[in-house]
A and B are shown apart, each in its own frame.
Chain A
Amino acid sequence: MTATVESGRSVDLPLLSVESVDVHLGRGRRAAHILSQVDLTVRPGEILGVIGETGSGKTTLARTVMGLADPSQGEIRLQDKVISSLRGSARRDLRRGGSVQFVFQDPLRSLDPDLTVEQLVAEGLVTQGQASSHEIATRVREALGWVGLDESLLSKHPAQISGGQRQRVSIARALVLRPQLLICDEPVSALDSSNRNNILRLLDELRTSRGLSVIIISHDLSSLAGIADRVLVLYRGRVVEDGPISEVFARPRHPYTALLIASAPALSDQLADQRPEPSSEQHRPLHVRQLRLVDADTATVSNDLEAGCVFRARCRFATDVCGTVPAAQDVPTAHGGGWRVSCHHHSTWRAELEDADRPRVPARPEPLPH
């Protein structure tokens, strides 16, 4: 854990706090309950990882914080200021200040195809209208340098650069505004490992040098483990686990987190042998087969987020009590900072596994519908 997180003052003063936020999207028949009772806090200089199934509401959560979706309940605060109720010019002023920036998940769609890379990266600065054009030009080049792009790209259009280059342009246009809080939706998914590490290192550096706070939504658990302090796990619109990333990854308390971590693509055994010894894991990693409920009848899952634990249809350990929504429960942590899990059986399921320890036989895959 970094010093910033542990120092008393910053713990008391979260930069961003999201409190019991519910989000509904769509109107009429299409209305859907996307997020339910989501809480999170980010402190200055902290990096929070957000993981979860696809479609679980990670992007929606980020968009809600940015004011692109309105919460139907709950409150979002930046420092002391409630931002979720801002409208019109108050909201525009906040945005123009540039203290919170968002990197969209799909760079091709979020970059105007008619603008050049230079115009795209400069857009925020130009909108602010404070910097001189000379200053803008220098800052744009500096930002491109940070993300490892060379200046020959400045005059190109988004369709003329590669996917990974587009993604880095998106990051550059957020960082060029020197935000306090950066929310990135899968910022490194299209990058090779070297460039990926370069971006993550950059964020890590900025948080130490400038106290930048970052929320990173990512499916790449290994990257997150490399730099994040905390991790928040979403499943179907609810936070199922939220705690220090090292501890959560080493010993997940929610069956879904465990399943997710166990499903991470494994290296072939030979390759794995060459990997450095896992540092201090006392816990034998679990296998997917131990956690997957193979005969899960997920087709009948109700869309009602209030009808019990969201994971129960796929959970191996579900019992009758799982028909009620589990409250978030505190789990003791070694390093402090809070660890909350929403599972009725969070303290017992692992023991059950170790008892039985009989991996279920996977069912024969169903035939292809050809």
Chain B
Amino acid sequence: MLKKTLRFRSAQISVAILLAVLLLAIFGSALAPQDPLHQSVKDFLQGPSSRHWLGTDYLGRDVLSRLLAGTRTSVTTAAEATLVGLVFGAIPGLLSAFLGTWFDFIANRITDAIMTLPTIVFAIGCTAVLGNSLTPAMLAIGFLSSPLFFRVTRAAALEFVRAQYVESAELFGASRFRIVRVHVLNKVIPTIAVAAAMSASAALLIVSSLTFLGIGVVPPAPTWGGVLASDLSYLNQAPWAPIVPAVLIMLTAGALNALADAIRDASGVHVSLLSAASSKAATEEAAATELTQPGDDADPAFLGANSANPVIDKIDEEAADVNRHSAA
């Protein structure tokens, strides 16, 4: 799946960006040319200069240094949130597909309940109770994203639980655990990966908006969101200032989303609804599906789960591949 994903140009670019962000997260503080916490009141809100490449903020701190040093916190918090979502969402989702009626019923009701909670208010509540630092805020955000993971994982797993090869494994007397491990897990992983990439990018943005509201980040510590928030407060004095942190956040979030799309395309997660077969057979099947369900102008609603277009695009790619080969 990894190899296939990396065949997409968009995936290559995304991975390059994410690797760069990862490097910044690890070495950011070391790379920072100046102390990100060093205030210098006389230099406040300066434009880019040879001393401060990206200028300074309202306390005269070097913006470049703050962004570099803030990478780690921003990235870890996003990762934390995603991890929490995965643990509280994906695992019950998998279990739900397998343990059947009772567990499924209860898990679903809990999920519904969580979904009714308003994100920001809940996060504020959590920090109020657990203390104002990023980790509780991220726990809250992660917890709130768990319904997404739950739903997605459960739906994907249900698709495979009813597959005939699972029946066949049951006929060999395989335990539930073995069935999940051997036959189901690797097929839902692409789906979970897509959800995780999406949730990580969402978390990154939410961190920014929380910082903006003054929740989660204890003041002098730099984060991307924090830099953006402070820049936005001084728009009058330095209108160009928010651009760099905003671009950084959007680039990372965008790369995550593009990667998610690429995973989806490569693994045929979208096709998995078409067929209980796995990612491997999916592309081939998609082509065959086109033969049987052709349609430029298919009305997706009418077809139910099968909105033909992404499928057709995929086939065209495969077909183009084949064409190129036969031409060569």
A and B in direct contact, judged by CB atoms within 8 A: yes
Q: Which residues of A contact B (CB under 8 A)?
A: 66, 68, 92-98, 101-102, 104, 106, 108-115, 123-124, 127-128, 157-159, 177
Q: How far is the CA of A123 from the CA of B278 in the complex (A)?
A: 18
* Residue tally, chain B, CB below 8 Å to A: 24
Q: How far does the Cβ of B243 sit from chain A's closest Cβ, in whole Å?
A: 46
Which residues between 153 and 209 of chain B lie within 8 Å of chain A, taking CB atoms? Answer: 163-165, 167-175, 178, 182-183, 186-187
Partner of A95 from the list B170, B182, B187, B284 (CB cut-off 8 Å) is: B170
> B280, A113: Cβ atoms under 8 Å?
yes
Residue B277 CB within 8 A of the other chain: yes
Q: How far does the Cβ of B287 sit from chain A's closest Cβ, in whole Å?
A: 12
> B173, A113: Cβ atoms under 8 Å?
no
Question: Which of A96, A101, A112 has the most C-beta atoms of chain B within 10 angstroms of its own C-beta?
Answer: A112
Nearest chain-B residue to A103 (Cβ)? B168
Residue B319 CB within 8 A of the other chain: no
> B164, A127: Cβ atoms under 8 Å?
no
Residue B281 CB within 8 A of the other chain: yes
Q: How far is the CA of A214 from the CA of B178 in the complex (A)?
A: 29
> B172, A98: Cβ atoms under 8 Å?
yes
Partner of B169 from the list A127, A157, A159 (CB cut-off 8 Å) is: A127
With A109-B277, A114-B187 in contact, is A95–B164 under 8 Å at CB? Answer: no
With A110-B165, A111-B165 in contact, is A159–B284 under 8 Å at CB? Answer: yes
Q: How far is the CA of A222 from the CA of B262 in the complex (A)?
A: 51
Q: How far is the CA of A94 from the CA of B171 in the complex (A)?
A: 9
> B165, A127: Cβ atoms under 8 Å?
no
> A96, B173: Cβ atoms under 8 Å?
yes
Q: How far is the CA of A128 from the CA of B171 in the complex (A)?
A: 12
Q: How far does the Cβ of A165 sit from chain B's closest Cβ, in whole Å?
A: 15
Residue B271 CB within 8 A of the other chain: no
Partner of B281 from the list A66, A124, A127, A159 (CB cut-off 8 Å) is: A159
Partner of A68 from the list B167, B173, B182 (CB cut-off 8 Å) is: B167
Q: Which residues of B contact A96 (CB under 8 A)?
A: 172-173
The 5 closest A-B pairs by CB, nearest first: A96-B173, A95-B173, A112-B165, A110-B164, A109-B164
Q: How far does the Cβ of A305 sit from chain B's closest Cβ, in whole Å?
A: 26
> A68, B169: Cβ atoms under 8 Å?
no
Q: Which residues of A contact B187 (CB under 8 A)?
A: 114
> B277, A127: Cβ atoms under 8 Å?
no
Partner of A114 from the list B170, B172, B280 (CB cut-off 8 Å) is: B280
Nearest chain-A residue to B170 (Cβ)? A95
Total residue contacts A-B, CB cutoff 8 A: 72
Mark interface residues in B246-271 (1 if CB within 8 Å of A CB, else 0): 00000000000000000000000000
Residue B83 CB within 8 A of the other chain: no
14 contacts between A and B (CB under 8 A): A68-B171, A94-B173, A96-B173, A102-B171, A108-B281, A109-B276, A111-B165, A112-B278, A114-B187, A115-B182, A127-B172, A127-B174, A128-B173, A159-B280
Nearest chain-A residue to B167 (Cβ)? A68
Q: Which residues of A contact B168 (CB under 8 A)?
A: 102, 104, 110-111
Q: Which residues of A contact B170 (CB under 8 A)?
A: 68, 95
Q: How far does the Cβ of A359 sit from chain B's closest Cβ, in whole Å?
A: 39
Q: Which residues of B contact A98 (CB under 8 A)?
A: 172-173
> B165, A109: Cβ atoms under 8 Å?
yes
> A109, B163: Cβ atoms under 8 Å?
yes
Q: How far is the CA of A83 from the CA of B87 in the complex (A)?
A: 40
> B171, A95: Cβ atoms under 8 Å?
yes
Q: Which residues of A contact B279 (CB under 8 A)?
A: 114
Q: How far does the Cβ of B160 sit from chain A's closest Cβ, in whole Å?
A: 9
Q: How far is the CA of A110 from the CA of B164 in the complex (A)?
A: 5
Partner of B167 from the list A93, A101, A110 (CB cut-off 8 Å) is: A110
Q: How far is the CA of A101 from the CA of B173 in the complex (A)?
A: 11
Q: How far does the Cβ of B193 sit from chain A's closest Cβ, in whole Å?
A: 16
Nearest chain-A residue to B178 (Cβ)? A127
Nearest chain-A residue to B276 (Cβ)? A109
Q: Which residues of B contact A113 (CB under 8 A)?
A: 165, 277-278, 280-281
With A93-B173, A96-B173, A98-B172 in contact, is A114–B278 under 8 Å at CB? Answer: yes
